Structure 1
Amino acid sequence: MQIKNFTVDESLKELTEHRTVVLPMACYETTINDNINGFIPLHWHEEFQFVVVIKGEAMFQINEDKIIVREGEGIFINTGCLHMAKDQKGTGCVYICLNVSPSFVLSHELYAHFVDPYIHATNIPYLRLSPKELWAYQILQSIKEISGIIKEKATYYEIDISMQLTSIWKNLIKNGVPLEYEQKEALKNERMKEMLNWIHQHYAEKILLEDIAQAGHLSRSECCRYFKRYLKKTPLSYVTDYRIQKSFILLQQSHLNVTDVAYLVGFNSTSYFIEQFKKSMKITPLAYKKMKTN
């Protein structure tokens, strides 16, 4: 089952509980264009995420990097990393998404040696999974296997899933990437989350660049450099984009008009809201409201 409108808290942490009835994991197919935003917005979660694209191609952004993932390829996204996804070139991208709690990957006795070091490695926010590499090919096949196992739910299917997860993790650590730990990189990631957290708590209010910078304990110029590095845009441009995202659901409420929505999401001018919405969505807020209502 696809999550079309997953929720996040103020820090962008996804609030969806990724688990089956008894297992701390979830596996489902995602069609990017079916999300309410038309893309998978920026978020993070404590689970590892494994993706295999089964149709089309997508652009994934993980922290500050952008990666194109094509049909048959995949990607591993480490716990706590900011990420988003957009359909690439109108291909109608569909992918299998496997989210797994790190504590479930291996037994408690093996966790400290084989899992925990990868969580804290600052040089592995993600890993490409190319079917040309044997270790990655085997991971991609296991993801598909788990997807099929969950659909069938045969007797003892939970044990079958656990066995596949063990195989996935063994193949992942066989890739041979040396682990690195840089406190400076970890701090940058946390500061970025702090600034985004502050924006998501205060987006409906008047926001100045100084406010965002202060939330990350940075100067204004350093704050701008962080946003340019991670999101390729200015802090205030991100605020505008986020306000527009928050307007989507409100515009579908019959008792709210466009002006109501504009002020509820933090715009102090209806005309500016309409201008920015049209610039982003190629449609006016009113046309969007009518389309969704119909």
Structure 2
Amino acid sequence: MQIKNFKIDQSLKELTEHRTVVLPMACYETTINQNIHGYIPLHWHEEIQLVLIVKGEAVFQINEDSITVREGQGLFINSGCLHMAEEKDRSGCVYICLNVSPHFVLSQELYTTFVYPYIQATNLPYVQLESKEPWGENILAAILNIHQLLQRKPPFYEISITVQLTLIWQNLIMNGFQPEYDATEMQKSHRIKQMLQWIHTHYTEKIRLDDIAKAGQLSRSECCRYFNRILKTTPLSYVTEYRIQKSLVLLQQADSNVTEVAYRVGFNSTSYFIDKFRKSMRITPLAYKKSKTEARP
């Protein structure tokens, strides 16, 4: 299953339902450049995520960190962590993505002791998975096994998947990942999500820096530090980029025009929209619209 139009709510929580008919999980191949945005936009979800790069390489941003992951390598991304991904050097990156409800990792009797402390840990937003480490190789092989089991669906494949998940989790927690809890870090995560949710609710309106800072209960300067540290941009630059990304779907509608779209996503000047769109997408809005409408069968 290739998710080409990544759906997230106003708080950046992904809306895709991560489950098969009977299992609270999903496993699919993702080709990054086939996404409508050209990359996987910033989002979060309650499921844990495991990634195995099968072609090319990608740069993942997870909370404040940027990590390059190459073919044959992988990642564990913890529950609730903000993350995004883009391919590196036009490598045509493809990766297997496995999203699993934390409650499905182990039995309920073991969940409280061996899962919950780790998904709540503030020192464990992600773990890089390397095939040169035996425990990393075990996890990467298990991700591939689960992907194949879900494709082939042999008899009792659901039980085989639970065995593979137990193997993944055992290898993770047995290799030095001691959970720590920092209330300040939890508060930072909560505040950035509050500010992003406010932007995503009000992006069609006039937005001031004071408004964004107020949503996160921060001063203007501290608000800017949050965005610079976590998102590597300024609050108002993020607003502009978010508006441009929202315009992509509208521009693909046959009856839309550039001026209408500009005002619908919060720009108060068509020329300013065109300028910012060109700098971001390296194409004009009209050229983008024509390329997408002409590509349809």
**TM-score class, shorter:** over 0.9
The code of the aligned residue for 1:146 comes to I
User: Which position in structure 1 is the counterpart of 2:69?
Assistant: 69
Cα distance in structure 2, aligned partners of 1:179 and 1:80: 15
* Moved beyond 4 Å, runs of 4+: none
1:175 shift after superposition: 1.4
Cα distance in structure 1, aligned partners of 2:236 and 2:212: 9
Q: CA RMSD in A?
A: 0.5
The code of the aligned residue for 1:105 comes to V
1:6 shift after superposition: 2.2
Cα distance in structure 2, aligned partners of 1:72 and 1:254: 41
Ranges in structure 2 where 5+ consecutive residues have no aligned partner: none
User: Which position in structure 1 is the counterpart of 2:91?
Assistant: 91
Cα distance in structure 1, aligned partners of 2:142 and 2:106: 16
Classify the secondary structure of the residue corresponding to 2:97: strand
User: Which position in structure 1 is the counterpart of 2:122?
Assistant: 122
1:143-162 alignment runs, 5 A limit: 143-162=143-162
Classify the secondary structure of the residue corresponding to 2:95: strand
Deviations 1:235-282 (A, max 9, x none): 000000000000000001111100000000000000000000000011
Classify the secondary structure of the residue corresponding to 1:15: coil
User: Which position in structure 2 is the counterpart of 1:288?
Assistant: 288
**Is 1:250 aligned to residue 250 of structure 2?**
yes
User: Which position in structure 2 is the counterpart of 1:198?
Assistant: 198
Classify the secondary structure of the residue corresponding to 1:61: strand
Classify the secondary structure of the residue corresponding to 2:68: strand
User: Which position in structure 1 is the counterpart of 2:233?
Assistant: 233
Classify the secondary structure of the residue corresponding to 2:110: helix
TM-score if structure 1 supplies the norm length? 0.99
Cα distance in structure 1, aligned partners of 2:178 and 2:142: 24
Cα distance in structure 2, aligned partners of 1:6 and 1:165: 26
User: Which position in structure 1 is the counterpart of 2:266?
Assistant: 266
Classify the secondary structure of the residue corresponding to 1:75: strand
Cα distance in structure 2, aligned partners of 1:48 and 1:136: 17
1:94 shift after superposition: 0.4
**Is 1:184 aligned to residue 174 of structure 2?**
no
Deviations 1:216-237 (A, max 9, x none): 0000000000000001110000
User: Which position in structure 2 is the counterpart of 1:207?
Assistant: 207
User: Which position in structure 1 is the counterpart of 2:56?
Assistant: 56
Question: Residue 6 of structure 2 contacts residue 41 of structure 2 at CA under 8 Å; is this kept in 1?
Answer: no
1:159-174 alignment runs, 5 A limit: 159-174=159-174
Cα distance in structure 2, aligned partners of 1:149 and 1:180: 34
User: Which position in structure 1 is the counterpart of 2:15?
Assistant: 15
TM-score if structure 2 supplies the norm length? 0.98
Cα distance in structure 2, aligned partners of 1:177 and 1:171: 10
1:151 shift after superposition: 0.7
The code of the aligned residue for 2:45 comes to H
Cα distance in structure 2, aligned partners of 1:11 and 1:67: 23
The code of the aligned residue for 2:80 comes to G
Ranges in structure 1 where 5+ consecutive residues have no aligned partner: none
* Sequence identity percentage: 68
Deviations 1:144-198 (A, max 9, x none): 0001001101111111111111111111111112221100001000100000000
Cα distance in structure 2, aligned partners of 1:152 and 1:179: 36
User: Which position in structure 2 is the counterpart of 1:80?
Assistant: 80
Cα distance in structure 1, aligned partners of 2:136 and 2:267: 46
The code of the aligned residue for 2:180 comes to E
Classify the secondary structure of the residue corresponding to 1:30: strand
Classify the secondary structure of the residue corresponding to 2:58: strand
Cα distance in structure 2, aligned partners of 1:14 and 1:192: 16
Classify the secondary structure of the residue corresponding to 1:290: helix
Cα distance in structure 2, aligned partners of 1:2 and 1:247: 22
Cα distance in structure 2, aligned partners of 1:69 and 1:42: 17
Question: Residue 203 of structure 2 contacts residue 239 of structure 2 at CA under 8 Å; is this kept in 1?
Answer: yes
Deviations 1:108-137 (A, max 9, x none): 000010000001110000000011111111
Cα distance in structure 2, aligned partners of 1:197 and 1:126: 23
Classify the secondary structure of the residue corresponding to 1:7: coil
